[in-house]
Structure 1
């Protein structure tokens, strides 16, 4: 399983539009082959921070997701239309256990 976490910060003027755009991707992304979970939410409204949490079956599923026009287009807009500071990380998890 591939886990993806992200912290996305923008300015107050573009925050509502960016949050809506990110949330609009959740349902279609969850329907993709290999998507285990896909969530976007407000981490800290005062600092215009959005938290992303995704889980993918494998790297091939994540790569297919990233290649979709809606996702590639959004990523291309970071730093352009949306003034953002983005920190996105992925890690491969080989075992799953309950805490």
Structure 2
């Protein structure tokens, strides 16, 4: 299993857009082969979101990164985020 945790911060005026984008990619990704869990949580007092993903194996994660919905999500973040996302990967 592979656990991915991360965070991203939106520009203040783009917070709602980031949440909508995260919701959309989460819904699409939960059906990906090998996806055990894929969720986001929005901070109540900031413009940050936290992501937690759990993948069956490297092949499933790699396939997810090639999916159209994932590529669309990544491309849509241009101009939305105030900084580069921070991601951590842990093999369980």
TM over 0.5: yes
Give the Å deviation of 1:28. 1.9
1:60-99 superposed matches below 5 A: 60-78=59-77, 80-85=78-83, 86-93=85-92
Shift, 1:35, TM fit: 0.4
**Total equivalences in the alignment:** 91
The runs of at least 4 consecutive aligned structure 1 residues that moved more than 3 Å come to none
**TM-score (ref. length: structure 1):** 0.82
Q: What residue in structure 1 maps to residue 26 of structure 2?
A: 26
Structure 1: 5+ residue runs without aligned partners?
A: 94-99
Segments of 5+ residues of structure 2 without an aligned counterpart are: none
Structure 1, 11-20 or 66-75: larger mean CA deviation: 66-75
TM-score, normalisation: structure 2: 0.88
Cα distance in 2, alignment partners of residues 70 and 49 from structure 1: 21
CA gap of 1:77–1:83, structure 2 versus 1, over 3 A, is same
The residue matched to 1:50 in structure 2 has which SS? Answer: strand
Over the aligned positions, Cα root-mean-square deviation in angstroms equals 1.4
Separation of aligned partners in 2, 1:36 and 1:67: 17
Cα shift at 1:88:
0.9
Please give the alpha-carbon distance, in whole angstroms, between the structure 2 residues aligned to 1:2 and 1:77.
25
**Equivalent residue number for residue 53 of structure 2:** 54
SS at match of 1:84: coil
Q: CA deviation at 1:89?
A: 1.2
